[in-house]
Each structure stands twice: as structure tokens, then as C-alpha cells.
Structure 1
Amino acid sequence: MGAVYLAVREDDRFRRQVALKVIKRGMDTEEILRRFHLERQVLSALTHPNIARLLDGGAMDDGRPFFVLEYIEGQTIDAFCDANGLNVEQRLRLFQKVCSAVHYAHQNLVVHRDLKPHNILVTLEGEPKLLDFGIAKLINTQLMQVTVATGPQMRLMTPEYASPEQVRGAPVSTASDVYSLGALLYEILTGHRPYRFESRIEQEIVRVVCEVDPERPSAAVSRIEEVRTSDGATRRVTPETVARVREGDPTRLRRRLSGDLDDIVLKAMEKAPPKRYPSAQQMAEDIQRHIDGMPVDARAGRGAAYRAQKFVRRRRTLVGSAGAVFAALVLGLLATTWQWRLAEAARDRARNAAEAAGAVVDGVSNSVARLDGLVAVSTEGEAAQRPLDEAVARLDALHREVEGQEDAVRRVLQRGLVSVAMLLGDRAGGSRGPNAGDNAGALRAYRVAADMLSRTALSETELLRQTFSLYTRLGDAQHADGLQDESMASYEAAERAARRLAAGDGGAPALRRVSVAMMSVAQSLLRAGNAEGALPIVERAVSIREDLARTERTTLATRDLGVGLSTLGETLQALGRFDEAERAFVRCIEVRRTLVDAPPQNRHQRDLAVAQTRSLADLLLKEGESARALAQVEEAWPTLERLRDQDPQDARAAADLVEAAILGARALRDLQRDADARAWTDRAAAGLDDARRRWPDELQLMRQDAAVTMLRGDLERRAGANAEAAAWFRRAVGAYRAVGAHLAAMGRDLGDVERRGLGLALWKQGEADRAAAEQSDGEARRGRLASARTALNESLVVYRDLSQKGKLAPGTEALTEIPRLIALCDAALGG
């Protein structure tokens, strides 16, 4: 399609070598011109350290378009690895950087479609650079047409690395690039390509790629064959030549690739796209898990023996203590059966039998409570999955076994077994204390507990208490799993139980249960965007807590009031009632500070009081009180840093610190202190990068990624760097869409806040592209204007949808300003 020349770019400031890409004479057909312009459009949108940068563009004297790229002096990735004798781990770490570049392109809605060694050069410094987006595909709403890969179209891909859907001419997606990454990693690790074609006939290529399973990499290294390298040479490949530049010995290399790496490569190369890694980033993260000695997702079905082996290798000094915890649990469960037999022998003495049964329950509960020790030595929820499921199943079986026992014994045992199942859920991943981070395990345990409770004969009061306790926990776990309707139903069941208890006993514990249940319902409504429905419930719950704090004067009652006032502030803020929200937040801080001053001094409550200032700072920014907002952030910052540092595994603490940095940067931006705003934005970005490496699927961190990129765009735009601003806003659009994709996978829609953010990012991208067009000419100008018009049209669709749903105030500027900008773009483009 194009020729690439080494050229020299020279102007008043500097002189350097560049790569000049020009369409060859005689090849400037309409299709080739379209793909050439598409490549330039793609590269203009991508700014990543592992993607070749676009420096300039224009047209030759004869009208042929060209663009200028950074010149990369280096080797193709396969040649670099072999020339430098990289071992397997070094190759994996280099490949992870390629995954990062591909994932970044995907976040910007670009599918490369031609990933292969020849399109990845590694610099002299060892940095890979992704090249040649000539057949890339944009996957935004304006460009969803799919090119049909009929005979001639087969030349637009490299069959050795093309996915089954590509060779069939089916629609491609980011999953197609994940497949190609798998094929690329296959070759980097083994020195062989995954497939060998008898001919280059299209039908043969389709048959092999779609029907033949690739050999496992650990087996492929034993092949002897003649291969053509990416630089065109032919060489004989043997197990010895492959191993010599990797692990030194063929046996050692086979052993190194066997297991995790076999499965990682083959998972990426699954024939069916849904079976592959969901993203290039998740593939890179699975590779990191392998490097770190953790269980990998590609081997998720391997069972407890595999996970135990990984755990032992990684934590040899700790395995004894963790194993003791599980032993305590199992022994406790065995003791249950044994003690039950003793209780059965004492059936004639029902009271004593019931007491014995109670002792059994207490013993098992104590064993399960010792799972706190597991949390202390290991944060791996997966390591506990199999024992957890076995323990829950055993509890359920015991619950059924005691159904034939005398009433007093049965009641005590069954009630206790339900409590133990709840406790197992709490320790697995519940929101009520230390846990192993396994929300799915908690959800399974709570569901079994609910089934057991439905088969338990209890007094009405006992049943209502258990129902309240269990369904509050179940609602929390369902919410964390994205099951919003089920979560609301559980919270409502807990509220009904609490109200029935309060009707018979109006004491403080009963009233507190009512307020807890009401607050859970209100928070669920608030998360669903129904702040109007949440407000009266929150107000009633806060009123109950005001009375309890005044009459009980306990730490628990005061803490509950602080939580209620915080939720009230959030609800009022969502309704735009900022003055009232500010008063609620200020009162919340005052209440929490009374706990700090009370003996004994409560450090946790002090931390909560300081952290609460984030909500107040956010509110002050919305009211235009930027200086006061900045003061709140600066006051809270040292405590938020300490909270993050004292528990590096706490995702919430990490996100709180990033959020504070974002708020500080916004306040400084609004105060026109741009240099300081950049520093705080860099601070937010650094914290976010660290947090997202550990928690890539944490929704709050994904939202913060969009916020940070928006800030960078604002600051570049104010500095007059319109092209750079447009690139940042384009990234923000990708970040908001990534949030939408994540929510969709959980069965949830993009919320109103995120939709407004998406609309604003598209609007700002359009404005910046239009401004950049005024600083360009020729094809570059038209390309910028077309990009601006596309973004503005998409933004208008978002804002009109929000308006139709009553989510925008009448007369919102976007509904008039965006059409005006679209008209200006149309006029400049000539129609």
C-alpha cells in the first residue's frame, strides 16, 4: 500500500531522522486512500510509549498523501529476543508491554487486525513499538461496517496470526487482536508458528485456522522444521537452537512452558472469541500472575491441588499457619457430627441435649472465626474457594441430618448451623469485617444459609432476627456482584423483618435494626439513580438515629448517626440541593469528631471524619467554592495517605487518595493555578496507575481514569495545545465507554453521571478538534473537522437522550451550543 522512507525533519528548533510513509505511485485507488487516511486518523488518536508516534502529515506535490512517524531504530520483536538471548521471563515482560499498547488502542476503540512480529520493532533500549495500523478498524458507532474478507481481501491480514473470524470474513473485535497476541506469544516462546499451511489457498487457510488445534507450546519446541523468519530469511529450527537462546536446555525449556504458559497461550487462541481473554490487559495480568507464582485464570478449572501447589511455592513460610486454619475448620465440622451423636444419645434429657448441641455450635463457630488468621497471612480468596464450598456443603448436609431430632436439639443445631454458614460468608468476602476478598464465595454461602433458614423451625422472634441478619448480608453481596434487583429484594426482606421485630419490641436494638434496613434500601435506590425515592427513607432513618444517639449516648449510636448524615448529604447532592447537602456533610464531620475526642480515643473514627471531607470538597466545587474545597483536600491529604499506606491491599483507601488528588487538581484548575493543577493531576495519575495494576476491574478506579484524562485535556486546552487536548478527551471517551462495557457485563446500564461525563468528553473533544483544525491546513484540517463533527454528533445524541429522560435542566447549554458547533464544522467541510 505504502512505501516507507528514512527522512530528515528539519525546522527552526531541531533536526532529526523520521520515517516518511507515502502511497506508492499507481496504487492510489479509492480503497487504498481510504485505508491510508484511516491509519493516519488512528495514529493521531493514539499517544502511548509503545506505539509509534505520528509527528506530521500532509500531501506531496502530486497530491499523494503522506505522514511522518518517529523513526525507530531496532529489530523485529522475535529477532530482538533471539539476538539478545532473552529467557522466558524476559520475553514475557517484553510481551506485556505489547499487550499494554494493544489494550490502549482498544480503549480508544481501535482494533489493529495485523499483529505480528514484523509490525513490532524493539528499540536499542529494549522498548517495543507497535507499527502499521494500515488495516486497523475503528469500532465506534459511526464506523460499524465490516469489511468482507473475500479472496482479494485475504491479503489484508497475515494468516499465521489471523483469528478464525478474520479468515472467515466474519465481524472482528478486540477479541481478534487477543487471538493474534496469542499467536505472537506462541512464536516468541517456542520459535515456531502455531500453524503450518500446506498451501496458501484460501480454503486451506480457513480450514487450518478454524478447524486445527495448535500444538501445545511445550510440545512445539521439540519440532524440527525449516521456517521463514519475519525478515525473510530461512533457517532450520531444532529443539537445541530454540532452547539455546531461551533457557539453555530443551528439557528445561519444555518444563518451563508446560502448564501455565501452555494454557495462557491456548486460552488467547481459542477458536470461539468468548472463550479468549476478555482483553489484552487481562492476558498481560494472567502472565503477571504466572510470573508471581499465583494461580492463573487460564487454568481456572484445575482444582484445589493446583492452587495449593501454587500457594505452597509462593508462601512456604506461611503455609503451615494457613493450613492450620483450614484444619481447624474441618475438625470443627467433624466435631459437629460427633457431638451430635452424643446429643442423640441424650435424647431422653432434652434440656441437656440442647445444651450439648449449643456447645457444638459454639465450637464450630470458634473454628470458623479463626479464618481471620487466613486473612492475615493471605489475601487470596481463590485459595480458600474449594474448602469453603466443601464446608458450606457439609453444613447443609448436617442441617438436613438433624431434621429428625428432638425439637429442642433440632432448633439449637439448625439455628447454629445457619449462623455458621453466615460466618463463613463473612470470612470469605462479606462486607462486615476482615475477609479474603471472595465476594462470589460469600454469595454462595449466604444463599445456602437462606435455603437452610427456610427449612429451620424457629420461634417467630428467632426467625425474624436471623432473617434480618442474613438478608442484610445477602443484599450486600448481591450488590457487589451487580445483582441490583435481587439486592433490593433482600434489603426489603430485611426491613420487613426489622419492622416486625420493632412492633413487638420498641427498644433501641430493634429500632437500630429498622434504621439499618432502611438505610440499605435507600442506598440501593441511590445507586440506581433514584435519589428522589431514597431521600424520604434516608430522612426517616436519620431521624431514628438522631433519637438513638440522644437517648443511648453510645459509640455505636453516634457512629450510626455519622453514617446516616453522610448518606443524607450524598442524596441531597444528587438532587442538586447543595446548601442542604453541605450542612449534612459538616454535621457528619462534627459527629464523627466527637468520637475522636471521647475516651478512649478512636483513631478509626478520626480517620472517617477526615476522609468525609472529600465529600464536602466535592460539594464545594459544585458550588464554585474552589478555595474552600482545596483547603478541605489539603487538610485530609495526610490522613488519606496514611490510610493507604497502612493497608496496601485496601482498594477503597487507594481510591480515596486518588479521588482527593482529583478534587485538588480540579480546585486548582478553577483557581487558574495551572502549574499546581498539573502537579496534582500527575499525583492522581501515579496513584491511579498503581491501583489499577492491582485492581484492574475496580469500577471506581475506572471512573477515576476518565476523570484524570478529562483534567489533562482541560489543562492542555487552556495552554493552547488543542491537538494534545483532543487526544486526551478522546482517551476520556474511551474510558467512559470502558466503564459502560464493565457495567454491561454486570447486567447494569451506564448511570446518569457517567452518561453526562461521556457527553461532556465528546463535546470537549469536538471543540478541541475544531480548534486544532484552525491551526492546520489541507487534509489534516479536513480530518480534524470530520473528527470534530463525529464527536459532536455523538455528544448531542447523549445529551438529547438525557434531556428526554428528564435528567437535564431546561435550557442546558449543551442542547444549543453543540448544534451550533456542528453547523460550523459542516460549513467548513462544505456541506
Structure 2
Amino acid sequence: MSRADDFHALTAEQWKQLDEQLDQLLELEPDEQARRLERIADRDAATAERLRQLLDKEGQDARLDHHLRNALSYLAEQAPTPSGTRIGAWRLLSRIGSGGMAEVYLAERADGAFERKVALKLLWPGLNSEQAAELVGQERRMLAALDDPRIAALLDGGLSDEGRPWLAMEYVDGQPISERCRSLGLDLSTRLGHFRQVLQAVGLAHRKLIVHGDLKPANVLLTRSGQVKLLDFGIGRMLQPDAGVLQAGPGWKAMSPSWASPEQHRGEAPSPASDIFQLGRLLQAMAEDCKPDGKRRRRELEAMIERATRADPEQRYLSAMTFLGDVDAFLAHRPLLAMSGGPGYRARCFLTRHWASIGLAVFLVLAGSTLLSQQWLQSRELKQRHAAMEAMLGYLQDLLEQSNPHRSDGTPLVSGAFLEQASAQLDERLGGQPEAQARMLNTLGKIHLARHELLLARQRYNDALSLAHHHELEDIEERSLDGLASIGIWTGDYAETERLLRELVVRRSRGDTVANNLAGAQLRLADLLHSRGDYPSALALAREAATSRQRPVWSDRVIGMILRDQGRFAEAEEALLAAYTLEQSRPRPRRATRAELTDHLAMLRMHQGQLAEAEQFLNESSRLRRSFLGAQWDGLLWSRHWEGVWALANGDSDRAAELLDLAVADYQRYFGEDSHLLAFARSDRAWAALAQGRLSAAREGFEAAARRLERMRSSGEHPRLAEPLLGLSLVHLATDRPDRAQASAEHALGLRNGLPEDSVGAMAWRANACRILRMSGGDCPMPTMASAAPQGLDAWRLSHAIDGLCQGPARTMAFCETD
């Protein structure tokens, strides 16, 4: 007789009886339910105990899910769907597998439209029609997003006549990857090459905010041609862009216990970290019968597996791409992140990589004559000293690069205090070697620039430039100038930076340098001209740089943000999405670049009136920055500024004020008083103050912003000067100075009239300026087609400001009664 807790041992007939009894019990009140169980226990104690377990209030849903799924799986094993059954446009041929969520059939096209065989996944019964439709829809959306040759493609899907969800997938004629590697007797390098494909495919899914949740050899096939194919991504779930939290879809939580991560066993949802754990287990299975030669190489392989499969998810590889970096390092005999080795370990890696040249040197020493050996040894000593210096500089630069968020591989960033100490010791340690000192200063400048510590970056680049100029180090001098030009785009020394960039463009146009260096200088100049408000010149230069296709992501980003600020939203969207898609397709996408692009897309969505989608982009950007900067690092100023603007558009003036106060302080600290970004932040903060009804603070912020923007260009005015001018117009109206209000509004309207006439966004902006001008007593015909323009950030900012004034200091003013 079977035990009461052994549900797997039940026959189909016993399951049927248990299911009927359970249904009857669930319809009874608790007291009657207990009496019925007692009567059942008198006849069959084991059945009564099973029913009590299923009815247990502690985790009732989980128990029902677990046991009924097993029951349905068992029953399905007994009665598979007959061959020849038609499901959608497909005819079942034979069953080729089954799992915790579905049975899988080989199927062929039944309607004669074309010939094709597929793997048709038929989910177990048990969902209602609404849940089933939602599950199919979610899986189709996920798999459609994973357009990659290493992931089995989704071809079709729907509901069967019995209401069971089904998905028709690309049929893959392959073996589980570990079995295939063993049967072919592949060496370790070849196996790791296949594992690289797996990591790249999983990394792509994670960038699409999708986790797999059930990675194991049966779901990773290797075809005869050597192509890796990942199956069953439909078991995965989409991640919410705002917090990296699993979006629980309908249906059962499926996993393979022997492959699941510790947190999955605890009942937690699968995550990128659980995929990393399963990837470690997969590598272990693939290399089980193929250990590398040498104790160190075995320890390296074991270290990678150990790092990936740690019990604490936070101690595993940060991402599939970080894991891939260690696999590549292993193949190239470079130091591994998982080893965290000291100088001896790094030296052994160096010897392994360069064994041939070292062996040749030893042979020459032994074979040469005494005189030749002495001469060769003297020459070799000089070369070794130079090589040692190069190696040491390379090591120090690599060490410092751990502080660079653009280059970080997921290890903790070196602190700012460490960078300050490194800079202070350069004179003492490298005072007699100007080239080495200048190189290190340029490295420090680049890192400070990437961390948005621009005033520190400018100091380091200036020191490097001085050394390079004095000692005629042309390469280093150009790198210093390039860095200073990048800083000048943001810190306010616009005239000198423009002169410097134009000089670089001319120098690089002479043909003695590669095209991407020229494109880089052109794009920095375009960025600067955009910062100064010369949109037409900036756009023309960015498009010229784009023709080289050497910096496509950068080119599209600059073009997109210029078009956005001209109000040409559709064109801006096309450019920014192109940049984002291209960056995502890189083998190792740069998180800092993705964060910048999502910021720009968020601002575009706010201007287009799509606050919900803007919030998603901002959440993704914030998550990306916190993933490599940490939650408290000051370099989060970008996220704080744009999140503050979103809160302002959404009507949360208190939250907006809090975030924008932080942004203003950050810009002052890192960019300096002359930065245009500080002017924009002050203007945004002043709009929040208006929404709060704080006239004095609003006036102070608008006036400071206007003063800086008025000095941005040697000729003409910055189009965004209109924003603080319109704010000042409202301040003047609220303080009963209509003449000054009208003058400010007229000035703002004139600036906005300078934007492209056919720009949808500019039409809306002109309409908002007209509204304020009319409130101040001026005359303004509404722009043509203004009604078709989106009600976006500019309109919401104005509306919240008027509401704040009319509920507070200006509630008795005439415009509050008529507007």
C-alpha cells in the first residue's frame, strides 16, 4: 500500500477518485469538511491524509499547484495526444518529449501552405481560457523579442480546441550540448567555444529583460553544424524595466530541481542570477570528461564554475557578459576575474601567452658566442627595462580603469579617494619619467570624465598636456586635447572648447589619421554646438560624421537629441532607437552608453506626452547606473535630474524639488557654475518652485538660468532660453507687473519662432508661449496645426505652475479666473 505522502505512486484511477473527493470537500464548510474527512479516514486513512495535505491552509495554493501538476503530467503520460491530431495549422506526428509545463510533439504543416516541420509545445491542461490566452500572448511577445540564430524561433501559437495553450517552435535536429560534446570527443577549447554561444544568447535575453529559468543540457542543443540552439525560453518570464523584478505570468512555476538555483528551491522567482547559476552547472557538465592540462588551468576552470554557482546570488558573476569575459580570458591565458590572483598568478599567465618568444630568447642566450651574447644581453637588458616599464604602466592603467564605469566588468569601482591618492603620488613616483607620468594623468583624466567628475578631469588633462607639450610627446598631447574638449562641452568654457575642437577637426581632416578619429572630433563639436543652441550647424556636422559609419551609435545619439530639441520628434525617435538597438546588438553592450540612450528616449517620451513609457526608460537607466555605480555614488546626477523632470511633469512638485535640488548641487560640484546643464537644472527647479507657489525661489532660479543661457553664444540666442523667460513671465504676472510679463513672453515666443516651422513639437511650444503672452495682455495668433501637437512636458510644466500660483500667492489675479 502506498504511503500518504507518496503522490507519485498513485494510479490514474486513484487520482481521479482523489480529485472528485477534493472537489466535494472544497464545497463544504470547515466543520462539515472535518466530519467528512473523519468518515473517509475510517475507510482509508492514507486517502484522508492526502486530502488533509491538499486542504492544508498553510501554502494551500502551492500544494495544489505542485500535486495537481504532477497528476496532470501523469495522466498525460498515460494518454498522449494521438498522432494525426490537428492543432491550428499543424498536424501532430509523434511525441518527442515532455516536461513540467508541456509535452512536445514533432508536427508538420497541415494546410498545405508550405512544407515545414516544427516542435509543437502543448501545455498541460489546468488553466482557464483567460489565463491560457494570457500565457500564450506573453510567451509569444517574449520569443518574438529574442530574434537570434542561437535561440529557437517562435513560428505560431494559439489555443487548441480543448483550450490548451500551444506554441509552434523551430524544430532543432540536435543533441543536448553535453552529450554531443562527449560523443564527438571535443577538446576543451572547442567546448568553451560552444559555451560562449550559450553565454551570448543568454546575455541577449537578459538585455531584453527576459530570464530563462530552466537552463540545462536538454534545453541547450548542439546541431550537426556546430550551432548552439537554446530551447524553452517560453518558460522564462519578462523582467519589469523599473526594478528588475520578475513579472509573474499566469501558469505554473516550472523548474528542474537538479538544475535550479538555491533561491529557486526557496520558491523565489527566477532571475538573471539564477540563470548564471545554471550556466555554471552547464559548464560543469560540458567539461566533466574533459579536464584541462596543468594544475593552474584546472583551478581556473573550477574557479569559473565555483564563481557562477555560489549560493549567494550577489556573489556570482554580475552578468552573462562578465562570465563570457572570464571564458575569453581563460582561452587567451589572461588572468581571470574568478581567480582574483596576485602578481605570481598574473606573471604565469604572461609566460603562458608569450612562451614562444621567451623560449626563443633562451635559445639565443645559450647558443650565442661570448661576445655576441654580451652584446645581445646588453641590448636585451634595455629592451627588458622598456618592456617592464610598458607592462607596469599597462598594469597600473588596468588597475585604475576599474574606476571607469564605461569599462567596469562588474567588480566594485575603485573609490574616488584612491584616485586622488594615485594622482598625488605621480610626481613622487614618476617624476623623472615625463612620458609615463603624462600617460597616467591622461588615464586619470579619462576615468574622472567617465565618472562625471569634470573639474578633476580637467585638472588631470591640463597637467598631462603641459608635460606632453614641454617634452614634445605628440600622441599624448592629442589625447589630452581630446579629453579637454570633451570636458569643455559641459563645463562652460565653450568658446575655447569650440576653437580647440575646430582645430582637431582640421588636423584630422588632413588624411593622416583614421576616419573614426575625425568622426569623433566632428561629433564632439556637434555636441558642443548643440549645447550652445546652434542646432542647424550641430545637425549638419553630426550628419556629416554619420556618413563615415565609424561611430554609428554616437552619431545617432547626437542626431537624435538635436532633432528632439528642435521638436522633430518622429525623426528623433528613429535616430535614438537606432542607436539603442545597435548598442544592444554589440557582443558586450556598454551599460553607461545604454543608460545615456535611455535617458534621451525618456526625455523624448515626456515631450511626446507618454509619461508611462518615459518612466520605464528612466527606471531602466537608473537601474543600469546603480548596477555599476552603486546606489549612493554622486555620478547618479543624470538619473536624479531626469527623474526630477518626470516628477514635475507628473504633478509631484515636492518630489521634483527634492531631486532637482540634488541635481543642482551635483552640477555645481562637478561641472561648475558656467555649465549649461546647471542652467537647465536651475530652470527646472524654478518651475517646481512655481508649482509649489514659491515665487521668490522661482524668480531666483529663472534669473540665474537666463543669465547663463544669454551668454552661451557669440551671436544669436539659445532656443531654450525661452523656458526660464516664460517662467519669469508668470512670476511677473503673479506680482502684478504685466508689462514685464509681456516683454518676457514676447522674447520667449521670438526664440521659439526660430525653430523649424513644420516641427510638431515646436508648434506646441509656440502655442504655450502664446498662451502666456495672451495672459499678460499681448496679442498672439495661435500657430497653425497647434491643436495636433502633443500635450507634453512643456504644457504640463506650464499647467502645474499656473495651478500652484492660483492656489497660492496669485489666487486673486485675473489670469486665475480666466485661464
**What's the TM-score, normalizing by structure 1?**
0.48
**What's the TM-score, normalizing by structure 2?**
0.48
Higher helix share: 1
